[in-house]
Structure 1
Amino acid sequence: MTEANPLSDLAWTRGYTDPAWIRRFTSAGRELSPTRRVWRGPGGPSDLPARSGPPETSGPGTSELDTMPLALDGNAAITLPDLFAAAQTDAFLVLHRGSVVYERYLHGTEAHTPHFNASAAKSYLGLVAAVLAHQGLLDRDALTRTYVPELAGTAFGEARIQDLLHMGTQVTYGGRPFDKSIEAQRYFAAIAPRMRPLEYHGPTTIREHLLTARATGAPGTGFRYENGNVEALAEVLRRITGLSTSALLGDILWSGIGAEEDAYYVLDGDGVEAASGGFSATARDIARLGEMLRCQGAVRGRQVVPEAVAGTIVGGVPDGYPRRVRLPGAPATVPATLSYHDLWWIPNDTHGSFMASGIHGQRLFVSPGLDLVVVHFGSQVVSPSVPAAPLVQAFLGIGAHLSAAVAA
Structure 2
Amino acid sequence: MCAETIYGTSSTAGIGAPTLDQWQIAPYLQWSMQNIESFLPVHQIASGARITEFARRPVDLESLIIPHPWEDRVASFGEVMQSTHTDGWLVAHRGTIVGEQYLGTMAPGTMHLLMSVSKSLTATTAGLLAGSGELDLDRPVTDYVPELAGSGYAGALVRHLVDMRTGVHFSEEYLNEDAEVRLLEEAIGWATKKHPEVPNTLLGFLATLGQDGPHGGAFDYKSCETDALGFVIQGATGRHPADVMSERLWQPMGAEFSAHVGVDSVGAGMFDGGVSAALRDLARFGHLFVNGGAALDAAAVVPAWWVDDTYAGGLDSREAFANASEPTLMPGGMYRNGFWFPGESGDVMLALGIHGQMIYMNRITGVVGVKVSSWPTPQDAEKLFWTLRAFDTASLALHQGEL
Superposition TM-score tier, normalisation by shorter sequence:
0.7 to 0.9
Tell me if the contact between 1:125 and 1:234 (Cα under 8 Å) persists in the aligned partners: yes
Which of 360, 368, 371 is the aligned partner of 2:363? Answer: 368
Can you list the C-alpha shifts for 1:131-150, whole angstroms capped at 9, x where unaligned? Answer: 22222222222111111111
Q: Measured at CA, do residues 114 and 320 of structure 1 come closer, stay the same or move farther in structure 2, by a change above 3 Å? A: closer
Taking the TM superposition and a 5 Å limit, the aligned residue runs for 1:90-105 are 90-105=87-102
Opposite residue 303 of structure 1, the aligned amino acid is A
Q: Measured at CA, do residues 179 and 316 of structure 1 come closer, stay the same or move farther in structure 2, by a change above 3 Å? A: closer
Which of 239, 254, 258 is the aligned partner of 1:258? Answer: 254
Distance 2:363 2:379 in 1: 33
Which of 173, 176, 179 is the aligned partner of 1:180? Answer: 173
Q: 3-state SS of the aligned residue for 1:70?
A: strand
Tell me if the contact between 2:119 and 2:226 (Cα under 8 Å) persists in the aligned partners: yes
Q: 3-state SS of the aligned residue for 2:210?
A: strand
State whether structure 2 residue 377 is matched by structure 1 residue 382.
yes
Distance 2:273 2:188 in 1: 11
Q: 3-state SS of the aligned residue for 1:85?
A: helix
Partner of 1:40: 47
Identity of aligned residues (%): 25
Q: 1:25, CA displacement in angstroms?
A: 2.0
Q: Measured at CA, do residues 351 and 385 of structure 1 come closer, stay the same or move farther in structure 2, by a change above 3 Å? A: closer
Partner of 2:111: 114
Q: Measured at CA, do residues 112 and 385 of structure 1 come closer, stay the same or move farther in structure 2, by a change above 3 Å? A: closer
Q: 1:323, CA displacement in angstroms?
A: 4.4
Which of 134, 138, 142 is the aligned partner of 1:137? Answer: 134
Q: 3-state SS of the aligned residue for 2:395?
A: helix
Distance 1:323 1:172 in 2: 17
Distance 1:124 1:94 in 2: 19
Partner of 2:17: none
Distance 1:198 1:74 in 2: 40
Partner of 1:295: 291
Q: Measured at CA, do residues 405 and 239 of structure 1 come closer, stay the same or move farther in structure 2, by a change above 3 Å? A: same
Q: 1:337, CA displacement in angstroms?
A: 3.5
Distance 1:251 1:370 in 2: 29
Distance 1:114 1:333 in 2: 29
Tell me if the contact between 1:168 and 1:220 (Cα under 8 Å) persists in the aligned partners: yes
Opposite residue 225 of structure 1, the aligned amino acid is Y
Q: Measured at CA, do residues 243 and 387 of structure 1 come closer, stay the same or move farther in structure 2, by a change above 3 Å? A: same
Opposite residue 154 of structure 1, the aligned amino acid is S
Partner of 2:55: 49
Tell me if the contact between 1:13 and 1:185 (Cα under 8 Å) persists in the aligned partners: no
Distance 1:253 1:237 in 2: 13
Tell me if the contact between 1:351 and 1:370 (Cα under 8 Å) persists in the aligned partners: no
Give me the TM-score of the superposition, normalised by structure 2: 0.86
Distance 1:89 1:163 in 2: 33
Give me the TM-score of the superposition, normalised by structure 1: 0.85
Tell me if the contact between 1:326 and 1:337 (Cα under 8 Å) persists in the aligned partners: no
Q: 3-state SS of the aligned residue for 1:91?
A: strand
Q: 3-state SS of the aligned residue for 1:348?
A: coil
Q: 3-state SS of the aligned residue for 2:242?
A: helix
Q: 1:200, CA displacement in angstroms?
A: 4.0
Can you list the C-alpha shifts for 1:338-383, whole angstroms capped at 9, x where unaligned? Answer: 2101111112354711111101111111101111001100001226
Q: Measured at CA, do residues 272 and 47 of structure 1 come closer, stay the same or move farther in structure 2, by a change above 3 Å? A: same
Distance 1:187 1:325 in 2: 27
Tell me if the contact between 2:111 and 2:276 (Cα under 8 Å) persists in the aligned partners: yes
Q: 1:84, CA displacement in angstroms?
A: 2.0
Opposite residue 42 of structure 1, the aligned amino acid is A
Can you list the C-alpha shifts for 1:30-86, whole angstroms capped at 9, x where unaligned? Answer: 10111111111132x1111211xxx4xxxxxxx622122112443222212321233
Partner of 2:343: 348
Partner of 1:6: none
Tell me if the contact between 2:90 and 2:101 (Cα under 8 Å) persists in the aligned partners: yes
State whether structure 2 residue 31 is matched by structure 1 residue 24.
yes
Partner of 2:279: 283
State whether structure 2 residue 232 is matched by structure 1 residue 236.
yes
Opposite residue 192 of structure 1, the aligned amino acid is G
Q: 3-state SS of the aligned residue for 2:236?
A: helix
Distance 1:47 1:103 in 2: 14
Tell me if the contact between 1:16 and 1:382 (Cα under 8 Å) persists in the aligned partners: no
Gaps of 5+ in 2: 1-19
Tell me if the contact between 1:98 and 1:291 (Cα under 8 Å) persists in the aligned partners: yes
Q: Measured at CA, do residues 186 and 179 of structure 1 come closer, stay the same or move farther in structure 2, by a change above 3 Å? A: same
Opposite residue 200 of structure 2, the aligned amino acid is T
Tell me if the contact between 1:95 and 1:374 (Cα under 8 Å) persists in the aligned partners: yes
Q: 3-state SS of the aligned residue for 2:62?
A: helix
Partner of 2:8: none
Number of residue pairs matched by the alignment: 377
Partner of 2:70: 74
Distance 1:198 1:292 in 2: 42
Which of 82, 87, 92 is the aligned partner of 2:84? Answer: 87
Gaps of 5+ in 1: 1-11, 56-62
Q: 3-state SS of the aligned residue for 2:276?
A: strand
Tell me if the contact between 2:118 and 2:275 (Cα under 8 Å) persists in the aligned partners: yes
Taking the TM superposition and a 5 Å limit, the aligned residue runs for 1:104-253 are 104-172=101-169, 178=171, 180-181=173-174, 182-192=179-189, 195-197=191-193, 200-253=196-249
Distance 1:326 1:88 in 2: 32
Opposite residue 225 of structure 2, the aligned amino acid is N
Opposite residue 105 of structure 2, the aligned amino acid is G
Tell me if the contact between 2:89 and 2:100 (Cα under 8 Å) persists in the aligned partners: yes
Tell me if the contact between 2:91 and 2:367 (Cα under 8 Å) persists in the aligned partners: yes
